[in-house]
């Protein structure tokens, strides 16, 4: 079967019978299940190995083809062989069969292979529960609103499959089964909301994942030349900030991340230096601000320089000896905090100390030409101090033919002496090239220096008072120690590309065609959409992802409970569940009293309509018997009513494809129109009661006719 024909049949399955084409019930349900599985697996495509995605797609298409052709399922040995290959491929791709990524890969393969033995309701239930578990695994990679919406649709589809599995008879429409699920979800929404609000916020049952990709934040714990430029087009949000006071200019917004002091000739790494926070001199009043930090792969807080105080308690946060806030583990959920920064500060000792000698070390045998260039500079300026040397090197960067580019040459192409190749030959690079080369030159001049990475700037316009810092704002700069002043920030990038620092502008290179078209078509509309989406994301994070135990207790205090604790939550939750159970029992009792058979629900309305025509309607009468009675009583004038009754017989006993509650409602409206259009009903009062008719008593007109 060609793929276009397969997809056409899939559309037929999703929309029921169309243009006289009706798929068998089992085929239609199976194609719908395969479509739901494909939709559920689609967001995992970036996380799965290429072979896994190809195997899953081929398996689902193969199973759909077998269903359409009504061919037998593959033998067991073939299924087991595919499973063995999948296990080997997982071990080869991930190096293990354990862990998050390996587990998701195996789960995706098992879900696809399970469809190859899907032939009974029990198998459908296994696939249903596997699908729900697969839905949950998506939230190990992200908790964005768009992902939540996609997984809500997946859960809706899986629940529809479950409803169909429990309705083995007839041909219920997919729309009807989906409506049952939607109704149940709406009825259960209040209980779900109460559970979300009042269920105790306990610690995670499992430890946080340690294999989060570093692209979640745009920062890495180390720095190599050419390692940061790929983030320049990454528009994902790293964090949002709101200032409770005057907003600093964009060129003053340096968000301190990893401090890198060790250099092996190619890579800068942090130095493990335990100890108390360094000495600080703070100038002026502190600037309070709030931060909403997105999940990160690094156990640190990229706070504004310099933020020695946290106004919100974070027990795991610690200010280390490099002036950087660290955590015990990476934040795997959005984190809200309040801090206070001092833009005017002095960090570290102001007098020379033996520990500073470690920050002048350079690996032997690397970048000899740059070291020679620094030695020549020292001979020209033998008495110059640190400020004069820094000014001279920055002037060289500004006037020496250097350029700022987002497409620097690959580090491997620069060879072992990458700083030599950048500083003396190519003279073009990204921020890490300028920062790393500047620190090498400073150390070659016997000045303590180190590299600092983090973020610089923010989006040029705030959204509802919140400034957005994205991965593309990732930046690298230098710190040089100066006598009497401590560690001083020096940003060599500002010497060659001041617009990058002053206005937070990045080069436009790399924009996609779609982004360029939208920007050209309506920049204002695009900006408004971004602002609206950013506001929605902030609301999502604050209302859902950041709803913690502290906020739970604040809610209880607002409800009038004094000194609430976990016991208060449990008692309140127990009372809510008890009331919900009583309400459910009351609703179930009421539903048992009402007739559940649609035919029994329809009989009173049918008796009233026929009573207006003078036709008797007993509880045991079938639609065909009533149609015969209408023909005998009204003749040709009752033909529309007779046709409606025969159509009711087809609906009740034939149960053709798509027959359901909606068709019965449509039939009822048609029947009422047919009765209203019959001459015998036009002179009948609507207040006539069919009580005697339902009991089988003939109408007065029939008795008079028989007497005549």
pLDDT in tens, 552-584: 777 777 777 777 777 777 888 788 778 878 877
Contact between 451 and 439 under an 8 Å Cβ cutoff? The reply is yes
Give the per-residue pLDDT at 511. Answer: 44
Contact between 682 and 688 under an 8 Å Cβ cutoff? The reply is no
**Residue range 328-339: mean pLDDT, rounded:** 84
Give the separation between CA 664 and CA 670, rounded to whole angstroms.
Answer: 10
**How many CA atoms does the CB half-sphere of 353 hold within 13 Å?**
12
Give the separation between CA 681 and CA 608, rounded to whole angstroms.
Answer: 11
pLDDT bin (cut points 50, 70, 90) of residue 450 is: very high
Give the per-residue pLDDT at 391. Answer: 93
Long-range CB pairs of 200-205 (<8 Å, 24+ gap) are 200/549, 200/552, 200/566, 200/569, 200/570, 200/573, 201/547, 201/548, 201/549, 201/552
Summary mean pLDDT of the chain? 78
Give the per-residue pLDDT at 477. Answer: 93
Q: CB within 8 A of 569, min separation 6: which ones? A: 198, 199, 200, 552, 556
**pLDDT greater than 70 at residue 484:** yes
Distance, C-alpha 563 to centroid of its chain: 36
Q: What percent of the chain has pLDDT over 90?
A: 12
Give the per-residue pLDDT at 254. Answer: 93
**pLDDT greater than 60 at residue 14:** no
Rank 49-63, 551-565, 601-615 by mean pLDDT and report only the highest.
49-63
What is residue 72's DSSP assignment?
P
Please tell me which residue, 451 or 296, carries the higher pLDDT value.
Answer: 451
Give the per-residue pLDDT at 464. Answer: 77
pLDDT bin (cut points 50, 70, 90) of residue 362 is: very high
10 Å CB burial of residue 630 (0-12, 13-18, 19+) is buried
Please tell me which residue, 106 or 555, carries the higher pLDDT value.
Answer: 106
Whole-Å CA distances, 334 to 74, 324, 683, 698 = 46, 20, 72, 76
**pLDDT greater than 60 at residue 499:** yes
Q: Any idea which of 194-198, 377-381, 464-468 has the lowest mean pLDDT? A: 194-198
pLDDT bin (cut points 50, 70, 90) of residue 216 is: very low
**pLDDT greater than 60 at residue 433:** yes
Q: What percent of the chain has pLDDT over 70?
A: 78
Residue closest to 307 by CA, chosen among 237, 257, 238: 257
Distance, C-alpha 57 to centroid of its chain: 23
**pLDDT greater than 60 at residue 205:** no
pLDDT bin (cut points 50, 70, 90) of residue 136 is: confident
Contact between 431 and 475 under an 8 Å Cβ cutoff? The reply is yes
Give the per-residue pLDDT at 302. Answer: 92
pLDDT bin (cut points 50, 70, 90) of residue 479 is: very high
Residue 637: phi and psi, rounded to 5, are -65, -25
pLDDT bin (cut points 50, 70, 90) of residue 534 is: low
Give the per-residue pLDDT at 602. Answer: 75
Whole-Å CA distances, 313 to 300, 337, 598, 636 = 15, 8, 61, 86
Contact between 294 and 540 under an 8 Å Cβ cutoff? The reply is no
Contact between 642 and 630 under an 8 Å Cβ cutoff? The reply is yes
Buried b or exposed e, range 238-258, using 16+ CB within 10 angstroms: bbbbbbeeebbebbbbbbbbb
Give the per-residue pLDDT at 688. Answer: 40
Q: Which residues carry out catalysis? A: 431, 475, 491
**pLDDT greater than 80 at residue 259:** yes
| Three-state DSSP class for residue 170 | coil
Contact between 678 and 641 under an 8 Å Cβ cutoff? The reply is yes
Q: Any idea which of 135-149, 255-269, 442-456, 497-511 has the lowest mean pLDDT? A: 497-511
Give the separation between CA 655 and CA 669, rounded to whole angstroms.
Answer: 19
pLDDT bin (cut points 50, 70, 90) of residue 501 is: low
What residues form DSSP beta bridges with 456? Answer: 254
Contact between 435 and 478 under an 8 Å Cβ cutoff? The reply is yes
Rank 222-231, 293-302, 608-617, 646-655 by mean pLDDT and report only the highest.
293-302
What residues form DSSP beta bridges with 347? Answer: 280, 487
Give the per-residue pLDDT at 2. Answer: 42
**Residue range 366-394: mean pLDDT, rounded:** 92
**pLDDT greater than 70 at residue 67:** yes
Give the per-residue pLDDT at 253. Answer: 92
**pLDDT greater than 80 at residue 86:** yes
Buried b or exposed e, range 518-538, using 16+ CB within 10 angstroms: eeeeeeeeeeeeebeebeebb
Give the per-residue pLDDT at 344. Answer: 83
pTM listed for this prediction: 0.53
Strand order of the sheet with strand 267-269?
223-224, 267-269, 262-263
**pLDDT greater than 50 at residue 676:** yes
Rank 205-214, 482-491, 497-506, 587-596 by mean pLDDT and report only the highest.
482-491
What residues form DSSP beta bridges with 470? Answer: 237
């Amino acid at each position: 079967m060609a793929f276009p024909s397969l997809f056409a049949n899939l559309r037929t399955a999703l929309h029921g019978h169309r243009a006289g084409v009706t798929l068998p019930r089992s085929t239609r349900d199976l194609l719908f299940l395969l479509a739901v599985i494909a939709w559920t697996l689609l967001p995992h495509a970036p996380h799965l190995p290429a072979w896994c995605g190809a195997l899953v797609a081929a398996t689902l298409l193969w199973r759909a083809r077998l269903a359409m052709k009504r061919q037998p399922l593959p033998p067991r040995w073939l299924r087991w062989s595919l499973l063995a290959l999948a296990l080997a491929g997982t071990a080869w791709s991930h190096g293990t069969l354990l862990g998050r990524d390996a587990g998701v890969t195996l789960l995706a393969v098992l879900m696809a292979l399970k469809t190859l033995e899907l032939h009974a309701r029990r198998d459908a239930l296994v696939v249903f529960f596997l699908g729900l578990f697969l839905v949950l695994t998506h939230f190990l990679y992200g908790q964005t609103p768009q992902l939540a919406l996609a997984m809500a649709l997946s859960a809706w589809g899986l629940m529809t499959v479950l409803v169909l599995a429990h309705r083995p008879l007839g041909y219920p429409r997919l729309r009807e089964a989906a409506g049952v699920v939607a109704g149940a979800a709406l009825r259960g929404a209040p209980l779900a909301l109460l559970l979300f609000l009042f269920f105790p916020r306990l610690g995670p049952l499992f430890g946080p994942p340690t294999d989060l990709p570093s692209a979640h934040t745009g920062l890495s714990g180390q720095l190599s030349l050419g390692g940061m430029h790929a983030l320049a087009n990454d528009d994902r949000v790293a964090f949002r900030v709101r200032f409770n006071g005057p907003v600093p200019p964009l060129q003053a917004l340096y968000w301190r991340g990893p401090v890198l002091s060790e250099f092996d000739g190619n890579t800068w790494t942090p130095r493990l230096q335990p100890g108390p926070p360094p000495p600080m001199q703070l100038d002026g009043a502190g600037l309070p601000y709030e931060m909403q930090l997105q999940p990160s792969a690094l156990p640190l807080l990229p706070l504004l320089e310099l933020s020695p105080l946290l106004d919100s308690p974070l027990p795991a946060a610690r200010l280390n000896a490099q002036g950087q806030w660290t955590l015990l583990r990476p934040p795997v959920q959005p984190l809200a905090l309040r801090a206070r920064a001092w833009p005017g500060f002095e960090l570290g000792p102001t007098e020379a100390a033996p520990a500073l000698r470690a920050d002048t070390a350079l690996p032997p045998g690397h970048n000899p030409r740059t070291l020679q260039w620094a030695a020549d500079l020292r001979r020209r300026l033998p008495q110059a101090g640190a400020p004069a040397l820094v000014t001279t090197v920055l002037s060289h960067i500004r006037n020496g033919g250097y350029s700022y580019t987002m497409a620097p040459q690959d580090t491997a192409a620069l060879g072992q002496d990458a700083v030599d190749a950048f500083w003396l030959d190519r003279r073009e690079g990204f921020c890490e090239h300028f920062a790393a080369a500047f620190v090498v030159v400073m150390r070659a001049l016997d000045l303590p220096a180190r590299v600092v990475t983090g973020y610089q700037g923010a989006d040029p316009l705030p959204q509802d008072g919140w400034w957005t810092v994205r991965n593309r704002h990732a930046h690298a700069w230098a710190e040089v120690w100066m006598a009497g002043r401590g560690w001083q920030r020096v940003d060599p990038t500002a010497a060659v590309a001041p617009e990058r620092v002053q206005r937070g502008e990045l080069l436009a290179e790399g924009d996609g065609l779609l982004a360029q078209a939208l920007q050209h078509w309506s920049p204002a509309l695009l900006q408004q959409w971004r602002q609206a989406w950013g506001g929605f994301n902030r609301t999502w994070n604050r209302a859902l992802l950041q709803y913690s135990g502290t906020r739970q207790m604040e809610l209880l205090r607002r409800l009038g409970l004094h000194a609430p604790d976990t016991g208060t939550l449990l008692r309140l939750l127990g009372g809510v569940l008890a009331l919900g159970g009583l309400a459910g029992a009351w609703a179930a009792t009421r539903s048992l009293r009402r007739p559940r058979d649609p035919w029994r629900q329809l009989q009173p309305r049918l008796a009233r309509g026929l009573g207006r025509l003078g036709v008797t309607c007993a509880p045991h009468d079938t639609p065909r018997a009533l149609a015969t009675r209408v023909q005998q009583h009204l003749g040709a004038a009752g033909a529309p009513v007779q046709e409606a009754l025969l159509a009711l017989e087809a609906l009740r006993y034939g149960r053709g494809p798509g027959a359901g509650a909606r068709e019965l409602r449509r039939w009822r409206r048609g029947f009422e129109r047919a009765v209203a259009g019959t001459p015998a009903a036009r002179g009948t009062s609507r207040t006539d009661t069919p009580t005697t008719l339902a009991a089988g008593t003939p109408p007065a007109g029939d008795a008079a006719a028989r007497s005549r």
